[in-house]
Amino acid sequence: GGESGGETFFRDDDDDDSDDDEENIVCSLAQFRPEKNHALQLEAWALVPENVKRRATLVVAGATRHAGDEALLRDLKAKADGSVRFLVNGTRDDVVALLRKAKIGLHTMRFEHFGIAVVEMMAANTVPVAHASAGPLLDIVGTKRDRGFVCDTAREYADAINLLLTDDNRRRQMAATARAFVVDRFSDAAFATAFVDRFLKQTLLDNRLLLFDDDGE
């Protein structure tokens, strides 16, 4: 699940001002828990070509709950190089600002049921590079490579990051497609429409059952 307080961050298609920044931001958004698999992010980041990483920063954002999470965070920081920054227990505004700047969003948890953080990234024109399992694979990103990438190995993640940071036209096209998808599928209006549709169908079915006797007459 996401770690951003349940708010989805939509912005206009032409509100992509990330090219105004000197550096390219790649972000991740997840609590610092073992199952979120941040180590895979760092492993992948280490495989991105140095000439590309020189113009980029990986921002690992998330919250800690207790001493165990803090220990994990210390271990991650020890493994990270100078091109990695950590945003720990940031405010909602911090997260919004990060998503609005980021060009790429990493997700590395295996078998996550849904993955609301991936939806939030896509809504903010941030192209997702997500794990090829469960919700992100089946319901959100898919395998067509039109609204993001799904990956399994560090090399696959690194190749996707490299492509998106070196082909800005492809990245912008994917960002627009991703945002349009989540607006259509996951916005409040879409949820409301889907709920009403299901409610009406069930109501009509219930009424039909009440109108007919056991012989269907």
| Total residues found in the chain within this entry | 217
Indicate left, alpha or beta for 149 from its phi (over 0: left) and psi (-120 to 50: alpha). Answer: beta
Closest CA to 81 of 48, 46, 30, 121: 46
pTM for the whole structure: 0.79
- Spell out, as residue ranges, where the chain has pLDDT lower than 70: 1-22, 189-217
Tell me what pLDDT residue 55 has.
94
Tell me what pLDDT residue 204 has.
53
Q: The tokens of 52 are what?
A: 């590309």
Q: The tokens of 38 are what?
A: 């941040």
Closest CA to 132 of 151, 113, 156: 151
Tell me what pLDDT residue 183 has.
87
**Per-residue pLDDT tens for 68-91?**
999 999 999 999 999 999 999 999
Partnered with residue 149 across adjacent β-strands are 129
Tell me what pLDDT residue 115 has.
87
Tell me what pLDDT residue 202 has.
56
Task: Output the CA torsion sign for 63, 19, 182, 162.
Answer: negative
